[in-house]
C-alpha cells in the first residue's frame, strides 16, 4: 500500500471535505491522532489557548494536567498567561479544577493524619 505524501495539500483538502460528509469518521481519526501524538496535542491546545479560544483550565484538562502544573509549564516556556475565564463555561471549569485540587489536599491531609 502506498502512502500519501503529506507535503501535498490534497490530503488536507480532502480531509476538510470528508469532515462535512462524514464528521464522525474524521472526529474518530483526529482523536486517535491526538491521543497518539502528544506533541501535536500540546501544539493544538496551546495554539487554541493563545488564540483565546479556550481557557487555561480547559487547556489543562485537554492535556491531562492540573491548571497549576500547566501554568508552571507556560511560565517555563515563556507562554503568556491569560488570566480569568473567557466565558461562563470556562469559569465553571476553573471552579471545578479548584474543587478537585482542594479535595486532593483534604485526602492527602487525612492520609497523613491516619
C-alpha span between 111 and 113 (Å, rounded) = 5
Write down the domain spans for the chain.
10-113
pLDDT digits 0-9 by tens, 24-72: 999 999 999 999 999 999 999 999 999 989 988 899 999 999 999 999 9
C-alpha span between 8 and 4 (Å, rounded) = 8
Torsion from C-alpha of 37, 19, 6, 38, nearest 10 degrees: -10
pTM: 0.61
Instruction: Write the burial class of residue 2 (CB in 10 Å: 0-12 exposed, 13-18 middle, 19+ buried).
Output: exposed
C-alpha span between 84 and 78 (Å, rounded) = 18
Amino acid at each position: 500500500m502506498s502512502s500519501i505524501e503529506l507535503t501535498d495539500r490534497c490530503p488536507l483538502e480532502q480531509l476538510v471535505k470528508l469532515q462535512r460528509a462524514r464528521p464522525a469518521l474524521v472526529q474518530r481519526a483526529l482523536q486517535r491522532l491526538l491521543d497518539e501524538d502528544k506533541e501535536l496535542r500540546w501544539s493544538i491546545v496551546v495554539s487554541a489557548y493563545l488564540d483565546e479560544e479556550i481557557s487555561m483550565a480547559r487547556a489543562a484538562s485537554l492535556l491531562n494536567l492540573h491548571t497549576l502544573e500547566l501554568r508552571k509549564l507556560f511560565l517555563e516556556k515563556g507562554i503568556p498567561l491569560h488570566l480569568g475565564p473567557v466565558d461562563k463555561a470556562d469559569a465553571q471549569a476553573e471552579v471545578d479544577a479548584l474543587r478537585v485540587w482542594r479535595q486532593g489536599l483534604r485526602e492527602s491531609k487525612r492520609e497523613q493524619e491516619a
